[in-house]
Structure 1
Amino acid sequence: MTDTSLSATGATKFIAIDGPAGSGKSSVSKAVARRLGFGYLDTGSAYRALAWHVLDRGADTSDAEAVRTAASEFPVVLGLDPDDRTVRVGDVEVTEAIRDPRVSGAVSGVAKVAEVRAQVNELFRALVADADYPAVVVEGRDITTVVAPDAPVRILLTAAPEVRAARRAGELAGENADAVAAALHERDASDSTVVDFLNAADGVEVVDSTDLDFSQTIDAVLSVIEQHRGAHRG
């Protein structure tokens, strides 16, 4: 039986995991959610879906007003099943489309609009509060600091830049490793102007996976969660 000591409403249902691109937070978070019987929320997919929505309207994601207008009519649907990552905008399934390089290159323009971030953050909080799961593993850039700063478990998952680049290059068959490293650096630099996801805030546990394989990283994150659940029970 799944331990529901974290089950409640609002922030207490969050397992908050932040980290830079290529840190493994998506794959690790999904694995942790499966292991514990929790939900899983990839917050980046919401920003990707909004970037797709802006582009689909023929607008430019560097135009903040166009982004605000698109966000005001953004019927996104995000499931919390770690084994079903379907994303829809209205009646259109965009699960694969939001991974297109054109969309990837437009995400930062969407994510840096403060009013839009506030709106999307409210969506995340509502999804978690209303979830049928005892808790939801939520991963992104500012979950531990902005979306759910009062979450009972807050983790920064990180790794050395060269390790992150090598992992991402391995995921993208045929891509040049140097080009992948440059793209990661550019994205980190752009996104860090909005939120600090490279340094742990007070009370956030750091899991550095530089010298860990995938299984070891999962175990390290599970260990942090169990420590906090044990403290809650104690």
Structure 2
Amino acid sequence: MEDTVTETTVLVAIDGPAGSGKSSVSRAAADRLGFGILDTGAAYRSLAWAAGETGADLDDEASMLAVMDRWSYQTTLLGDQRIGVLLNDGAEYKTYDITAAIRTPEVSGQVSRVSKHASVRVRLNEMFRQIVAESGLPGVVIEGRDITTVVAPDAPVRILMTASPEVRATRRAGELPGMSHEQVLADINARDMKDAKVVDFLNPAPGVTLIDTSDMNFEQSIQAVIDTVDAARTTRSSTE
């Protein structure tokens, strides 16, 4: 990626498990830094939604790759997030705004079935790199899975944001009316077990900064990211 991004581009890669706060914190930090934000999880959700629309078998890798051949992803990097897809329904391509649709429990429950396919992740990672390379922005925060180790392993700032399952469940329960803390905690533990098969959210890779937000509020979490970016910028400037 380093040879496709302009020299002035600051790349901030953020990994983390569901409910760690990485999405909301990453977006707020990017806004304050004047950077773009690429939510890679939205692409996985978009693909899960497309599979449901086309009747594809989410557990079959070839079936999911076939969906990707008929699917084109669209996302904003600045301002309010808008997610769209261009999808061939068998007769013609149609454009859909699925910003709200991909956040439903029905779609959320299918994301792990999409992300478990290695070839699907490879193709999406290539797409993420292209989106960043063509952004023309001074900086981009990329958040999601495999970001610090696969998508942007050479990023000058790499962060693993985590929190205890109990804290994550409390945060998520507040976002999911009708679900108890116990139900959300069970869902998070199940999601962690699935995710652990394809990505390590517990141990940061060499060169990755660990930010545990268990005892941080939202503002403190944002500042922790900004401080990490500022520290990397200072180090970078002193070595140039």
Instruction: Note the C-alpha offset of 1:119.
Output: 0.5
Unpaired segments ≥5 residues, structure 2: 87-94
- 1:233 aligned residue: 237
Query: Hey, what's the Cα distance between the residues in 1 that align with 2:115 and 2:183?
Result: 23
Instruction: Note the C-alpha offset of 1:10.
Output: 8.6
Instruction: Note the C-alpha offset of 1:230.
Output: 0.4
- 1:86 aligned residue: 82
Contact 1:11 1:125 in 2 (8 A): no
- 1:166 aligned residue: 170
- Number of residues of Structure 1 aligned to a counterpart in Structure 2: 227
Contact 2:45 2:108 in 1 (8 A): yes
Instruction: Note the C-alpha offset of 1:174.
Output: 2.4
Is 1:217 equivalent to 2:214 in the alignment?
Answer: no
Matched residue SS, 2:179: coil
Query: Hey, what's the Cα distance between the residues in 1 that align with 2:140 and 2:32?
Result: 12
Contact 1:18 1:155 in 2 (8 A): yes
Is 1:146 equivalent to 2:150 in the alignment?
Answer: yes
Query: Hey, what's the Cα distance between the residues in 2 that align with 1:175 and 1:132?
Result: 41
Report the residue type matching 1:26 in the other structure. Answer: S
Query: Hey, what's the Cα distance between the residues in 1 that align with 2:207 and 2:8?
Result: 15
Contact 1:13 1:129 in 2 (8 A): no
Contact 1:75 1:89 in 2 (8 A): yes
TM-score w.r.t. structure 2 length?
Answer: 0.91
Contact 1:13 1:128 in 2 (8 A): no
Instruction: Note the C-alpha offset of 1:197.
Output: 2.1
- 1:22-41 superposed matches below 5 A: 22-41=19-38
Deviations 1:77-114, CA, capped at 9 Å, x for gaps:
11111x22111111111111111222111111111111
Instruction: Note the C-alpha offset of 1:11.
Output: 11
Report the residue type matching 1:59 in the other structure. Answer: A
Task: Give RMSD over aligned pairs.
Answer: 1.6
Report the residue type matching 2:63 in the other structure. Answer: A
Unpaired segments ≥5 residues, structure 1: 1-6
Report the residue type matching 2:12 in the other structure. Answer: I
- 1:4-153 superposed matches below 5 A: 8-9=5-6, 13-81=10-78, 83-90=79-86, 91-153=95-157
Contact 2:112 2:194 in 1 (8 A): yes
Query: Hey, what's the Cα distance between the residues in 2 that align with 1:224 and 1:200?
Result: 15
- 2:92 aligned residue: none
Report the residue type matching 1:230 in the other structure. Answer: T
Instruction: Note the C-alpha offset of 1:72.
Output: 1.9
Contact 2:5 2:132 in 1 (8 A): no
Query: Hey, what's the Cα distance between the residues in 1 that align with 2:69 and 2:205?
Result: 31
Query: Hey, what's the Cα distance between the residues in 1 that align with 2:108 and 2:129?
Result: 24
Instruction: Note the C-alpha offset of 1:128.
Output: 0.7
